[in-house]
Structure 1
Amino acid sequence: MVDKQRILIVDDDENIAELISLYLMKECYDTKIVGDGESALKEVPVFKPNLILLDLMLPGMDGYQVCREIRTTSQVPIIMLSAKGEVFDKVLGLELGADDYMIKPFDSKELVARVKAVLRRYQAAPVSMSAATKQQGEYVEYPNLIVNLTNYSVLYKGHSVDMPPKELELLYFLASSPNQVFTREQLLDHIWGYEYIGDTRTVDVHIKRLREKIRDDENWALSTVWGIGYKFEVRR
């Protein structure tokens, strides 16, 4: 029997939290509700969620701080929930490590669809060192870098790199078309598609996070093409 995927709901509005839980339980997810940030941080290592739905406006520690704390120890997918629809709030949430951002009030079907989409993408299994020579499925390979889209894994200088789905998809997309320049709008459309209505700064945030994890190599680099967008530059 396959274990149910676990979703931690962090929201101080009991009515909303219970409603979200009900929708997800109907889809056969195992849910747990906590009403504040400190409780969420305590529950993560115990409940071991496959995904976290995190409200921003929490008593005491807000959702941004909770996200920041979780990201110091875990790459579990996080979908932020907020009544704030400003671009700044979305970008800040993504910069701190959120995988998606939904504005309240939201449609229950859309929430479930986004949860499924994030979980479907986030199947990053641990990568053994031998995997470098046993890649299967859709992957691109360069000196010191292998990005596998099939099992959502990244090997950089022989070591596995934890990476949220959107970062990996963005890296794979660029690396799949070496030296081709893409505008921010094109990248937003290709990676986030119809399910995401966002600002092009979302792309900048994800590029920044990629560069923090993967440094430019003498053979390749994630390059900025000023005034246009980005490319995966192959130097040799």
Structure 2
Amino acid sequence: MRLLLVEDDNHVAAALSAVLARHGFDVTHARSGEEALQALLPDTGAPFGVVLLDLGLPDQDGFEVCGRIRKRTATPVIMVTARSDVRSRIHGLNLGADDYVVKPYDTGELLARIHAVSRRTVPGETGPEDQETGADEPLRLGPVLVELPTRQVTVNGVPVPLTRKEFDLLALLAQRPGVVFRREQIISEVWRTSWEGTGRTLEVHIASLRSKLRMPALIETVRGVGYRLVAPAA
């Protein structure tokens, strides 16, 4: 996958680019907002699968850059910044960012979020990169089959009717079996809002999924952290 890293600090960019390259990403580094926007022009090569956008850029605010990116492409944008206040996170999501990661972050979590947003991209919405990220491939978890394009879930071949948010929640966890997703992260990615006042909603949806799938052990609660999907045997 091609990835656009928008970061004005060359040392930070070099270290992160090296890590991403080891995990198979083709990284392009942009040092300013204008450089990032130029890199996203249609005639600059194969499309990017994800944009990692720092907010503290030298020429313009990262929020402004995000808004301009969203006007010209649906490529997933993950804001990577030291601004941890809830207002900034909500503002970024409202501008069209797909996720918001606060520095310092765990590299494994960042990689998981990159894969998550790239898989959630609707086929045909951003062009050829959707095919590169495997968005059409169903997710098989033992007897559970999650088909992302059609938003269908079956258990042992039997369709299981889910609400929109139930499907989004299951799809998020199913894309990274075994990875622990923090409650705040799930709320941000599925409900596109902050954790405050939404915790009970998440718990209700988890309970509903366990009941509808008739597999209580499929989604494990990691006490004090969040949830992870435990892939069952076939």
| TM-score range normalised by the length of the shorter chain | 0.5 to 0.7
2:162 aligned partner: 176
Residue in structure 1 matching 2:7, options 7, 11, 22: 11
Distance 1:73 1:108, change over 3 A: same
Q: How many residues align?
A: 160
Distance 1:31 1:199, change over 3 A: closer
Contact 1:57 1:82 in 2 (8 A): yes
Distance in structure 2 (CA, Å) of the matches to 1:149 and 1:97: 25
Q: Cα distance, 1:67 vs. partner?
A: 0.6
2:32 aligned partner: 36
**TM-score normalised by the chain length of structure 1:** 0.57
1:119 aligned partner: 118
Q: Cα distance, 1:152 vs. partner?
A: 6.7
Distance in structure 2 (CA, Å) of the matches to 1:106 and 1:67: 20
Aligned pairs for 1:31-110 (under 5 A) are 31-45=27-41, 46-47=44-45, 48-110=47-109
Contact 1:87 1:199 in 2 (8 A): no
Distance 1:204 1:188, change over 3 A: closer
2:230 aligned partner: none
Structure 2 residues not aligned, in runs of 5+: 126-135, 139-145, 152-160, 174-179, 194-199, 202-234
Distance 1:192 1:205, change over 3 A: same
Q: Cα distance, 1:110 vs. partner?
A: 1.7
The CA deviation string for residues 51-110 of structure 1, in whole angstroms up to 9 with x for no partner, is 100001111211100110011111100110010111111101100011111111112222
Q: Cα distance, 1:29 vs. partner?
A: 1.0
Distance 1:54 1:88, change over 3 A: same
Distance in structure 2 (CA, Å) of the matches to 1:51 and 1:124: 14
| 2:105 match: secondary structure | coil
User: Which letter maps to 1:9?
Assistant: L
User: Which letter maps to 2:90?
Assistant: V
1:150 aligns with 2:136: no
| 2:72 match: secondary structure | coil
Contact 2:169 2:190 in 1 (8 A): no
Distance in structure 2 (CA, Å) of the matches to 1:200 and 1:116: 14
The CA deviation string for residues 175-216 of structure 1, in whole angstroms up to 9 with x for no partner, is 9339xxx8xxx9997676652443998589749xxxxxxxxx
Residue in structure 2 matching 1:21, options 8, 17, 22: 17
Identical-pair percentage: 31
**Cα-Cα RMSD:** 3.5
Distance in structure 2 (CA, Å) of the matches to 1:36 and 1:75: 20
Distance in structure 1 (CA, Å) of the matches to 2:186 and 2:109: 22
Contact 1:81 1:104 in 2 (8 A): yes
Structure 1 residues not aligned, in runs of 5+: 127-135, 139-147, 154-174, 208-227, 230-236
| 1:72 match: secondary structure | helix
User: Which letter maps to 2:100?
Assistant: Y
User: Which letter maps to 1:195?
Assistant: F
